[in-house]
Amino acid sequence: DTGVSQDPRHKITKRGQNVTFRCDPISEHNRLYWYRQTLGQGPEFLTYFQNEAQLEKSRLLSDRFSAERPKGSFSTLEIQRTEQGDSAMYLCASSSFRGTGDEQYFGPGTRLTVT
Amino acid sequence: GNSVTQMEGPVTLSEEAFLTINCTYTATGYPSLFWYVQYPGEGLQLLLKATKADDKGSNKGFEATYRKETTSFHLEKGSVQVSDSAVYFCALSDPTGGFKTIFGAGTRLFVKA
């Protein structure tokens, strides 16, 4: 297994454009998370999937953000009408629930720059 | 709500010095506690964890003990190396607070040869 992968690694877009990021979790993991990380801060939770069901969304996830996980495998995060404040590192993580202590495995992130 | 507070960095140490990075938390339930590390140019990776009070997590010479009475989970290492230079994040996962993991702001560590 090659770990969590994310694509693209870097994205530069103009304000107002739509962008989509992809995350491929570790294959046997049923939980998938999206986080946003800005410079000098820790990751902030955006949303969580268990299999294909989106079970929790942060208030940070405005109407312009949508995430999907069809068939409980890879996930996509789309940002519509990007704004400069959306510039950040978007992290994906996956885990396999084992009762307690949800250890998450992180991908390398997608760095978004909105100009 | 749940939160994590960790000491501000950067922390600069000489090789073989003792390291402590303080972390305190607020949680409504009985959280699991974690330290994650981010090496330069790499993704976040789990360093150690503890799932209940008085548990000690340890890995690569790092240790942290889950102290419920002081709501703390301080990271320690007896002798740091240059290769330990990274950003360290304290985090908690509390099922009563939902499924998310809450991270601290991170502490950057520089180790000089």
Q: Does A109 touch chain B (CB under 8 A)?
A: yes
Cβ distance A53 to A70 under 8 Å? no
Band of the pLDDT at B2, cuts 50, 70, 90?
confident
Question: Which chain A positions have a beta carbon within 8 Å of B43's beta carbon?
Answer: 4, 91, 106-109
As a whole number of angstroms, the distance between CA B83 and CA B31 comes to 30
Where are the extended beta strands (E) located within chain A?
5-7, 10-13, 19-24, 31-37, 44-50, 53-57, 65-68, 75-79, 88-95, 105-106, 110-114
CB-side exposure of B109: number of CA atoms within 13 Å? 28
Instruction: Check CB contact under 8 Å for B105 and A31.
Output: no
Residue B56 clears pLDDT 70, i.e. is over it: yes
Band of the pLDDT at B23, cuts 50, 70, 90?
very high
Comparing A98-107, B12-21, B36-45, B51-60, which segment has the lowest mean pLDDT?
A: A98-107
What pLDDT sits at residue B99? 67
Q: How far is CA B99 from CA A13, A61, A100, A104, B89, in A?
A: 31, 15, 12, 12, 18
Q: And the tokens for B95?
A: 């099922």
Question: Which chain B positions have a beta carbon within 8 Å of A33's beta carbon?
Answer: 99-101
What pLDDT sits at residue A86? 96
Instruction: Check CB contact under 8 Å for A41 and B34.
Output: no
As a whole number of angstroms, the distance between CA B56 and CA B72 comes to 12
Q: pLDDT truncated to tens, each residue of chain A (115 aa)?
A: 579 999 999 999 999 999 999 999 998 888 999 999 998 899 999 999 989 999 888 888 889 999 999 988 999 999 999 999 999 999 999 988 765 557 889 999 999 999 9
Q: Using CB atoms and an 8 Å cut-off, which of residues 47-86 of chain A contact chain B?
A: 48, 50, 55-56, 58
